[in-house]
Amino acid sequence: MLNFKLPKKTEVNLVISSFSKKERIIFAVLTIILFMSTISILESINKSFMVGVPLSGGSVSLGIVGTPRFINPVLANSLADQSLVSLIYSGLMRKSTNGTLIPDLAEKYEKSKDGLSYTFSLKNNIYFQNGKPITADDVVFTVNKIKDLIIKSPQKVNWEGVSVVKIDEKNIKFTLQQPYASFLENATIGIMPRSLWEDSPIELNTANTNPIGSGPYEIDSAKKKPSGVIDSFELVPFQKFILGKPYIQNMNLHFFPNEDEMIVALKNKTINQTSSLTPENAESLEIKGYKIHSSVLPRIFGLFFNQNTNNLFVNKTIVRAIDQAIDKEKIVREVLLGHGIVINNPIPQNIITYQKINSIENMPRPDILKKVQNDLAKDGWKVGADGFLEKTKKEKKGTTTTKLEFSISTSNATELAKTAELIKQDLAEVGIKVEVKTFETGNLNQSVIRPRKYDALLFGEIINRESDLFAFWHSSQRKDPGLNVAMYTNAKVDKILEEAFVTINDDERTKKYIQFENEISKDMPAVFLYSPKFISVIPENLNNFFINRINSPADLYQNAYLWYKNTENVWRFFAK
C-alpha cells in the first residue's frame, strides 16, 4: 500500500530554489491564479447557500385624490377613507396577495354543514393601537353599527339577514337567514374599538380623523392646511400587528383635490407612488421613465338597453348588429390607450374563472361590417334619404316608416364621452343613427338613471363579488334604487341568480354562473364593451407589490405590511 503525505517546508523551498527566474515567475502567476480561483469558487458556493430576505427600513410617499373624512370601516366610502382603513384596521380575515382569504384577527372559524352559521375564534394577544385588547364585544359592536338603519353604512347591504352574538370573550357566532357564498368576504371588515366609538354619534366622533385600529400601520402625525383640511398623514408600523411587523418604516399619505395636482407632486418628488391614474397620465409618465403597474379591475362597461323607451331593442338582429359593428379593440386602444381589455360577457374575468370562447371578433373588420349589413338587409332595413337605415311597413291606415336610430346617454367624463362618439361613428358605418347625450355625473344619476329615462345607457358596473351580479341582473332590481339598468326580466335568470347566491360549493356555483352568462348571451339586454385597468406608479425599489387580484383600489393596501425596499443576504438555513 502506498502512503501519501504532504512535503515538508524545507523540501518545498528546495524545489523552488532550483527554479530558474522564468520558472519562478510562472510559478508565482499560477499560484495567484489558483488562489483567486479558489476564492471565486468558495464565494460561488457561499452564494448558492444564500438568499435575500426583507429588511425593515425605507419610506413610501403615497398620493391619493380626495380628503379623509370618515376613516372608519362603517362609513368609509371615498378612496381616501377606504385606503386609510385598509392600512389602519384589521378584520377577522384578510385578503392575501393571491386573492384568497387568510385569518387575521381570527385564529380559526367553523362553518356549519348547512352554511347558515359561522363561528370565529379570536387569536390570543391581539390589541388595538391604543394598547387595549380586542374582544368579541368589539366585533359585535362593529357589525351592529354597520347594520344600524340610522347610520346607513355603505357596507349594510352585505350584512342583511346576518345576526351576530358573542359566545364569550374570544368567540363570536354569525347566523345567516340563508347560505351566502360570499360571507367570508364580509369577515374582512375592519374591527373598531367599542370603547372609542360607543359614547358619541359615529359621524361626529373625533376618531374619524384620528383613527385607532389594529392594522399594520398607525397614525404618527398629521398636517393640516390653514382651512383645517387634512393635507397629509405620517403612518408608522404598529408593533403589535398580529401578522408581523411591517417592513416599510414610514408610510406617508398626501391628499390632493384632483389628479393633475397629484401628478405635479409626483414629478416634484413630493410623492413617489400613486394609483387610480387615467390612461393619458399613465402613458405620459411611462414615457418619462416612471414604473407603471396595471391590473384589470372587475368593472363591466357596456351599452345597457331600455326596451321600455325604444322597442327597437326587442329585435335581436338589431342588438346583435350593434354588438358586432362596435370596434371594441379601437375603444381600448384609443380611449383607454391600451389600459383595458375587450369583454363580451357580464362577469369580470377575475370574479369567476373558466374558459370563455368568442368567435366574431376574430373576423377581419370589413367582413364583420359586411355581415352586419347583410343581416340588417335580410331583416328588412333599407338605406333612406338621409343615408341611415329605415323600414317601411304597409298597414290598413297607410304606410309607416321606422328609423333605425336611438340615443346613448352617458356621463360627460372624458373616457365615456369619447367611447360614445366612437360607438356613434361605428354604427353610422352600417346605417344605424345614434344621438349622444352627455350629462354631469350627478345629473345623470338623478335625472336619467334613477327614473330610467334613456334609450341606451353607456355605463359601468362595479362588481366586487359574485353576489353583486344579483343587484345588476335580477328582475327585482329593475326600478330605482335597484341597479338593473337594462330593465332585464328573465324568470330563469332570476332563479339561477337566487340559487347561485346560496350555493356554497364553488364548482356548482360556477356552473350556475355559466348558465347565467348563456342566458344573457341569448337575450342580449346589453352590449359589453371593456373592463378598464387599475393603473399605479410605484418606486423602482419597492418589492412585494401586488395588484393582480384586487377588486377595488383600496385593496392595494391590504398587503402593504409585506412591502419592502431593503434586503440582506443570509444563509437559507437562517431565512424565515
Convert the pLDDT of each residue in 337-354 to its tens digit. 999 999 999 998 877 766
Residues 255-312: pLDDT tens digits? Answer: 999 999 999 999 999 999 999 999 999 999 999 999 999 889 899 999 999 999 999 9
Three-state secondary-structure class, residue 302: strand
Q: Residue type for 133, please?
A: P
CB atoms within 10 A of CB 336: 23
Listed residue (66, 73, 548) closest to 274, CA to CA: 66
Q: How confident is the model at residue 499 (pLDDT cuts 50, 70, 90)?
A: very high
pLDDT per residue as tens digits for the range 66-93: 999 999 999 999 999 999 999 999 999 9
Q: How far apart are CA 569 and CA 51, in angstroms?
A: 5
pLDDT at 2: 54
> Residues near 405 by Cβ (< 8 Å), separated by ≥ 6?
388, 432, 433, 434, 435
Q: What angle do CA 436, 442, 448 make, to 5 degrees?
A: 50
- Residue 444: is its pLDDT beyond 50? yes
Closest CA to 552 of 468, 483, 482, 463: 463
Instruction: Assign 3-class secondary structure to 7-24.
Output: CCHHHHHHHHHCCCHHHH
Q: Inform me whether the pLDDT recorded for 550 exceeds 90.
A: no
* Cβ atoms of 159 and 149 closer than 8 Å: no
Residue ranges and CATH numbers for the domains of the chain are 59-291+538-574 (3.40.190.10), 299-533 (3.10.105.10)
| Per-residue pLDDT at 464 | 85
Enter the DSSP assignment of 449: I
Strand ranges (DSSP E) for 306-388?
340-342, 382-383
Neighbours of 282 (CB within 10 A): 22
pLDDT band at 436 (very low <50, low <70, confident <90, very high): very high
**Section 390-405 average pLDDT:** 86
